[in-house]
Homo-oligomer: A and B are copies of this chain.
């Protein structure tokens, strides 16, 4: 028996919007600690990892571990049927072949109930090493989204160059080139607008904008995004040691006392094609 109740059902809508264009089929792993999902994108270039803590739900019960494989497009279609202020309840029996989603309107005169068929998916749970990253950039998520979108007008890849005082995003292509420089901000009274850089050494890496634009669809979930990177490690090391991690916290929107209830992390290996700007 599994049951999870989230008063702010709109959080689930935003999570689905953030992953459904990247991953078609995926499994939610449900345990007493919470729900999580991990999947490679359909072209097997990037990895997305979603985690929701059990105590982030308004009610959470998971008697034994469950794996709920499903088509995320279908799930997204159904979640879109919930109104933004609906409470969403997810239910699954042990060993069943479907899950039930309940959407409760605030006035309680309307209840919607949807059932989605489950799928048996090949498990490909990847143990992501708990790497320490040399460079961490925290910045407004909408600024990251806009920079990726703007530079996509110029080229296919963005080169991220990081120094102590700021970070530079650059791209080049047929029509010319572009670069955007962000200075580290002073400690300000608006933490959601701040740019914070923590680094041990300078770094310059290139990434495919196509994927960063996909990741930026998580922008509505969090005012800030964190980019974590490390300089290239020697060849021969596993590729996953050498990635950019783009992380969005998932918070409830309690204005007075927001608390983190989970995260979305995207992992992307840098482009090492010599013909790119670097």
Main DSSP-derived SS at the A contact region: strand
- Asked if A153 and B77 make an inter-chain contact with CB atoms under 8 angstroms apart, the answer reads yes
The yes or no answer to A195 lying at the interface (CB within 8 A) is yes
- Asked if B78 and A176 make an inter-chain contact with CB atoms under 8 angstroms apart, the answer reads yes
Interface positions, chain A 172-205, Cβ under 8 Å from B, are 175-183, 185, 195
- Asked if A175 and B112 make an inter-chain contact with CB atoms under 8 angstroms apart, the answer reads no
Smallest CB–CB gap between A159 and chain B, Å?
14
User: Which of A46-54, A114-122, A242-250 contacts the other chain?
Assistant: A114-122
Interface positions, chain A 66-112, Cβ under 8 Å from B, are 71, 74, 77-78, 80-81, 98, 109-112
- Given A77-B153, A109-B195, decide whether A114 and B177 contact each other with a Cβ distance below 8 A: yes
**A143: nearest residue on chain B (CB-CB)?**
B110
Q: Count of chain A residues with Cβ under 8 Å from any Cβ of B?
A: 31
Interface positions, chain A 135-182, Cβ under 8 Å from B, are 143, 150, 153-154, 175-182
- Given A80-B153, A81-B150, decide whether A178 and B117 contact each other with a Cβ distance below 8 A: no
The yes or no answer to A21 lying at the interface (CB within 8 A) is no
The yes or no answer to A113 lying at the interface (CB within 8 A) is yes
- Asked if A181 and B117 make an inter-chain contact with CB atoms under 8 angstroms apart, the answer reads no
The complex places the Cα of A62 from the Cα of B20 at a distance, in Å, of 52
- Asked if B183 and A153 make an inter-chain contact with CB atoms under 8 angstroms apart, the answer reads no
How many copies, total? 3
Residue in B80, B143, B176, B181 whose beta carbon sits within 8 Å of that of A74 in the complex: B176
The complex places the Cα of A115 from the Cα of B171 at a distance, in Å, of 11
- Asked if A177 and B115 make an inter-chain contact with CB atoms under 8 angstroms apart, the answer reads yes
The complex places the Cα of A76 from the Cα of B185 at a distance, in Å, of 30
- Asked if A153 and B111 make an inter-chain contact with CB atoms under 8 angstroms apart, the answer reads no
**24 intermolecular pairs with C-beta atoms under 8 Å apart:** A74-B175, A77-B175, A78-B153, A78-B175, A80-B150, A80-B153, A81-B178, A98-B176, A109-B182, A109-B183, A109-B185, A110-B143, A110-B183, A111-B180, A111-B181, A112-B179, A114-B176, A114-B177, A114-B178, A114-B179, A115-B178, A116-B175, A116-B176, A117-B175
Known: A78-B178, A80-B153. 10 other contacts (CB 8 A): A78-B154, A80-B150, A81-B178, A110-B143, A111-B180, A112-B178, A114-B177, A114-B178, A115-B177, A116-B175
A interface vs B, CB < 8 Å? 71, 74, 77-78, 80-81, 98, 109-117, 143, 150, 153-154, 175-183, 185, 195
